[in-house]
Copies of this chain bind each other. A is one copy, B any other.
Amino acid sequence: MNEIISLLQNHRSIRKFKDQPVSESQLNAILAAAQAASTSSNMQAYSVVHVKDSSLRSQLAALAGNQAYVSESPVFLVWCADLHRYEQAVRRHGDTPVTGNAENFIIATVDAALAAQNAAVAAESLGLGVVYIGGLRNKPAEASELLGLPQLVYPVFGMCIGMPDQEPLLRPRLPLEAVYHVNQYTDNQVAVDGYDESIRDYMKERTDGKVDTTWSKEMAAKAQRPREHMKAFLNAQGFGIE
């Protein structure tokens, strides 16, 4: 339909990067795009930490499950939900307490996600590839300490950026009718049946026939590895969602 929509529709996560730096001007363009994303009531309740130090990179990579690309990608950013800056601003004009109630938690998490997604799109428009690193939430307290995050800030995810050194298959998504509803939410298990088969085909192709699975099997496997520690971590970090 146009070049931008085609770029968006052809997204795939990149986990292998060429040994080629992202330039300062590319990074600045990416960050400016991130900053221009929508933000709830202009709160801009996010921060981004650019991890350049190689020892810090290795430690974060280890916490995130030892994925090589976390320590090796040309750029590694950590996108944080940040209510600390908001709290500081509020304190300039009185003593209204800022708690990380569920609403503020949503605002900050969403602000971080919208900014990050703009960054991802900007990077891809420059021919770069990205992958989100949710694995930072494996050990969020340790990651927060390494990055010096104050109370009311938490790392939502990391992001590797660099020149792609692989061309992964496009992973099929759920059929539109599984995620799209008109006026009323409707269950569509038939669409999920079809998708289970699409993922079976995709995984077979991706693994030369070695892996036989479906989407719902993957989801069932995932449900057995909950990150149960997140609530306690978030409350210790001041988010008060408990």
Binding site for B on A (CB under 8 A): 1-5, 7-11, 13, 25-26, 28-33, 35-38, 40-44, 46-53, 56, 80, 82, 84-86, 88-90, 92-94, 96-99, 101-104, 106-107, 109-110, 113-114, 116-118, 120-122, 125-126, 130-132, 134, 137, 147-150, 153, 156-157, 171, 173-174, 176, 178-187, 189, 192, 199, 215-220, 222-224, 226-228, 230-231, 234, 241-242
Q: What is the total number of copies of this protein in its complex? A: 2
The answer to whether A230 touches B147 (Cβ under 8 A) is no
12 A-B residue pairs with Cβ-Cβ distance under 8 Å, sorted by A, are: A1-B25, A9-B33, A35-B174, A41-B218, A44-B179, A49-B185, A94-B220, A97-B223, A106-B156, A113-B117, A121-B121, A147-B184
Report A141 CB to chain B, min CB distance, Å: 13
- For A88, give its contact among B1, B5, B130, B189 (CB under 8 Å): B189
The answer to whether A1 touches B13 (Cβ under 8 A) is no
Given A4-B3, A42-B171, A110-B113: A49 touches B241 (CB 8 Å cut-off) = no
Once the chains are docked, how many angstroms separate the CA of A55 from the CA of B180?
20
Once the chains are docked, how many angstroms separate the CA of A4 from the CA of B26?
13
The answer to whether B5 touches A89 (Cβ under 8 A) is no
Q: Which 8 A-B pairs have the closest CB atoms?
A: A93-B220, A113-B113, A4-B125, A89-B216, A8-B33, A103-B227, A89-B219, A102-B230
- For A2, give its contact among B84, B126, B174 (CB under 8 Å): B126
